[in-house]
Amino acid sequence: EIRARILSAFERAEVTEDDQRREALLTFVVVGGGPTGVEMAGAIAELARKVVVRDFRHFNAASARVVLVEAGNRILPTMPACLSAKAQRQLEGLGVEVLATAAVTHCDGEGVMLADGRHIGSACVLWAAGVMASKAAKWLGAAADRAGRTVVDERLNVPGHDNIFVIGDTAAVKNEDGRPVPGIAPAAKQMGEHAAHAIRALIADNPVEPFRYRHFG
C-alpha cells in the first residue's frame, strides 16, 4: 500500500499542470526519526534518484523532496550519538532533508504543521513515529509513559506487584544505562524469556534477577 501510494504520487505529478500541486505530490514527509523512519526516508530518496529517475517526461524525479521529521534532538535516539550523526550524513547524501527538534502538531491532506509554525505541503505523509501502546497501564492502575506504556521496575514487574509482569511494546523498560529498551522483536523475546524464568523462580521461592537487555546488533 505504501509503495503504491508513493508511485501514484509520481504518476499524478506527471499528468498535473498545476505547478503547486506537482510540488506537493513530489514532497514526501516521513514523521519519526527512529529505525523505521530512517529506512523509509532513505528508500524513497533512492527510489526517486535511482529507480524511477528516467520514467517521467514532465519533471525530474530526482528533484523529489524527501523530508524526515523528528521531534527529538537527533534521529535514531536509542543508538549512540555517533551512529545517529553518521546515519544523518548518509541520508543527506541521498538528498533527504532531516529536521530534528521538529514536532508535528497537525497532519491533513495538505501536509503537516510543525510546532514552530512551519507548514510542509505534501500529498504523501508517512507516519513512523510509533503508535499508542495497549491500555494495560490503565486497567492495571499503573503509571504510564507518554506513549501509554506501563512503567515497570528492573524485574519487569508493575511496582508493588511482584506477580504482575509487563513485557514487549506494552512495557516502558530502562537499560542499565538509563536509556529505554527499544521496541523491537528481539527485546520482546528477551523479556518473555525473563518473565518465564522469573515466574519459575517465584514458584520455587527463589530470588528474581533483574532484566538485562542484550543488543546483538
| Residue 56 binned pLDDT confidence (cut-offs 50, 70, 90) | confident
Q: Which of 79, 99, 127 is the last residue of a domain?
A: 127
Q: Residue 214 domain-assigned? A: no
Tell me the per-residue pLDDT of 129-151, one tens digit each, with 9 for 90 and over: 977 788 899 999 999 998 889 99
Q: What is the amino acid identity at position 26?
A: L
What average pLDDT score do residues 176-198 get?
Answer: 92
Q: Are residues 87 and 141 in the same domain?
A: no
Q: Among 44-48, 58-62, 64-68, 74-78, whose mean pLDDT is lowest? A: 58-62
Closest of 145, 138, 209 to residue 172, by C-alpha: 145
Spell out a b/e string for 133-158, using b for 16 or more CB atoms within 10 Å of the CB, else e.
Answer: beebbeeeebebeeebbbbbbebbbb
Residue 167: domain span: 136-203
Q: Which of 72, 105, 127 is the last residue of a domain?
A: 127
Residues designated as active site: 39
Q: Give me the CATH number covering residue 98.
A: 3.50.50.60
Which pLDDT value is given to residue 83?
Answer: 95
Which pLDDT value is given to residue 128?
Answer: 94
Q: Are residues 22 and 120 in the same domain?
A: yes
Q: Are residues 25 and 85 in the same domain?
A: yes
What average pLDDT score do residues 93-106 get?
Answer: 96
Q: Residue 51 domain-assigned? A: yes
Q: Residue 209 domain-assigned? A: no
* Cβ–Cβ under 8 Å, residues 172 and 154: no
Q: Are residues 45 and 117 in the same domain?
A: yes
**Number of structural domains in the chain:** 2
Cβ contacts of 100-108, under 8 Å, gap ≥ 24: 100/33, 100/70, 100/72, 100/73, 100/74, 100/75, 101/70, 101/71, 101/72, 101/73, 102/69, 102/70, 102/71, 103/71, 104/31, 104/69, 104/71, 104/129, 107/31
Q: Are residues 78 and 142 in the same domain?
A: no
Q: Residue 53 domain-assigned? A: yes
What does pTM read for this prediction? 0.71
Q: How far apart are CA 100 and CA 32, in angstroms?
A: 10
Q: Are residues 57 and 123 in the same domain?
A: yes
| Residue 61 binned pLDDT confidence (cut-offs 50, 70, 90) | confident
* Cβ–Cβ under 8 Å, residues 45 and 66: yes
Q: Are residues 43 and 105 in the same domain?
A: yes
Q: Residue 208 domain-assigned? A: no
Q: Are residues 50 and 148 in the same domain?
A: no
Q: Which of 127, 161, 184 is the last residue of a domain?
A: 127
* Cβ–Cβ under 8 Å, residues 169 and 181: no
Q: How large a percentage of the chain has pLDDT more than 70?
A: 100
Q: Residue 216 domain-assigned? A: no
